[in-house]
Chain A
């Protein structure tokens, strides 16, 4: 059973909102100043996505060592209901769909995900 990776987030001690990334506050929903660090669920489903088909301007973009390849940018909706912006690695850009399950694999630079093995394809109505 794979170990699920979480996200370093904060929870508001007044209204309970889980927010990302972790910040010193205030709570953006209720303005309370007391936030506690929490690990939020990382895995989720693709809420929306696009494909970055052209190399962004450098700086600030750092072109990968083996050259630019189109990559998938997605907002991933987790069990907390929040949507996290990240990059979906290893996906065929033309096969990505809203609703696909993804696993969080890294938060070293920005949240990075991989399509779950058992996610044949999401809803695309």
Chain B
């Protein structure tokens, strides 16, 4: 089995760009990734890509070039980018292709998502009564978590404050204005206990990653980053997911725990060795819970971690150093690959004002999406 590395990463700007379509954001990201790798589209031998609401990724060949390569569309909710990466990883690993592109993009309209119950196997009444709202899930999950493990609203606000600070020093981010924890707390409840500024917003952006076998990765234009673990998982019985009409008895499981464990096992390392991480931060509460679900801390420790600034850029485990979904928005297809782009940039030492000090060597990414999908990677230089 072939060892796989990332040889190029590219990003469009994130945030409202009225003059550009989602497809144009995707093409920008692809070109940026190809330039980073020092290659051209005809060098790509297979592609995996997706968007949730901005069209079929494989139709982009009319903008990129008709080269006859296999181009597979990926649709796994917020985990789309991660799934695309893992699919591309296996294409290299299996020897099916030597240069693979993973792409994710989206351009969402203003306001909340409007999923339809039929698409999720749920009766119409669930939608008409007002229960097809993704933010309800994140709110009820963190509400219970806070009750069980003593997390306070102040801690939720600190996560968001960190996100906006990191966004303010990230030129690609959408939200570039730093906000204080007090401003976050007073921004108005959206779904208790989460206020407006604790949530990401559906957004705009494209991200792309180019993969190659590790033993050839040094021949390209930028410093390669090894993929030591790349795993997607779907949920087991007993997990608490978006759009759950019911939850079974007993302790609830997490698909994120499954995916993180799989990635660490593949990499042969544990969470304590990670120097920089991206964890799905649909809202502040999600970042808090994913810290423990992915194995970085025990339930409840997040209170101390945030107080001690452990997940800030200078802390023991910087999380979402580019501002995460909260500062970049959530263009569903792109986020998983934006995360990879940021970790690669950090491991290469190229993150400028938001660079994690002391030469980070190991990075971790985690995405989570409905109806219970998670993709995690372990990356290393």
Contact = CB atoms under 8 A, between A and B. Distances in A.
A61 B128 contact: yes
Contact of A98 (B147, B188, B189, B248): B147
Nearest to B124: A60
A49 B139 CA distance: 8
A110 interface: yes
Residues of A contacting B: mostly: loop
B143 A49 contact: yes
Contacts of A98: 143-144, 147
A98 B250 CA distance: 17
A51 B140 CA distance: 9
B248 A84 contact: no
B249 interface: yes
Interface string B124-150: 111111111100100111011001000
Interface residues of B, number: 39
A61 B248 contact: no
B129 A110 contact: yes
Contact of A85 (B111, B116, B143, B245): B245
B192 A51 contact: yes
Interface string B106-134: 00000111101100000011111111110
Contacts of B194: 50
B144 A48 contact: yes
B140 A109 contact: no
Contact of B112 (A54, A73, A81): A54
A59 B140 CA distance: 23
Contact of B127 (A54, A59, A84, A125): A59
Nearest to B247: A83
B77 to A, nearest CB: 17
Contacts of B131: 73, 85, 87, 110
Interface string A66-87: 0000010111000011111101
B127 A60 contact: yes
Contacts, number: 113
B116 A60 contact: yes
A61 B250 CA distance: 32
B153 interface: no
B59 interface: no
Interface string B246-284: 111110000000000000000000000000000000000
A53 B129 contact: no
A57 B129 contact: no
Given A52-B133, A52-B191, A57 B245 contact: no
Contacts of A29: 237-238, 248
Contacts of A62: 128-129
B244 interface: yes
Contact of B114 (A60, A74, A93): A60
Given A50-B143, A73-B140, A110 B114 contact: no
Given A48-B141, A60-B128, A80 B249 contact: yes
B61 interface: no
A21 B126 contact: no
Max chain B C-beta neighbours (<10 A), residue from A55, A75, A87: A75
Given A48-B140, A48-B141, A50-B143, A82 B247 contact: yes
B112 A57 contact: yes
Interface string A40-58: 0000000111111111110
A31 B281 CA distance: 33
A53 B133 CA distance: 11
A56 B112 contact: yes
Interface string A1-38: 00000000000000001011100000011000000000
Given A61-B129, A87-B129, 6 more contacts: A52-B136, A53-B188, A56-B133, A61-B130, A73-B136, A125-B147
* Chain A to chain B: the 6 pairs with minimum beta-carbon distance, closest first: A60-B127, A81-B249, A57-B114, A50-B139, A48-B144, A109-B125
Interface of B: 111-114, 116-117, 124-133, 136, 139-141, 143-144, 147, 188-194, 237-238, 244-250
5 contacts: A49-B140, A50-B139, A52-B136, A53-B192, A60-B124
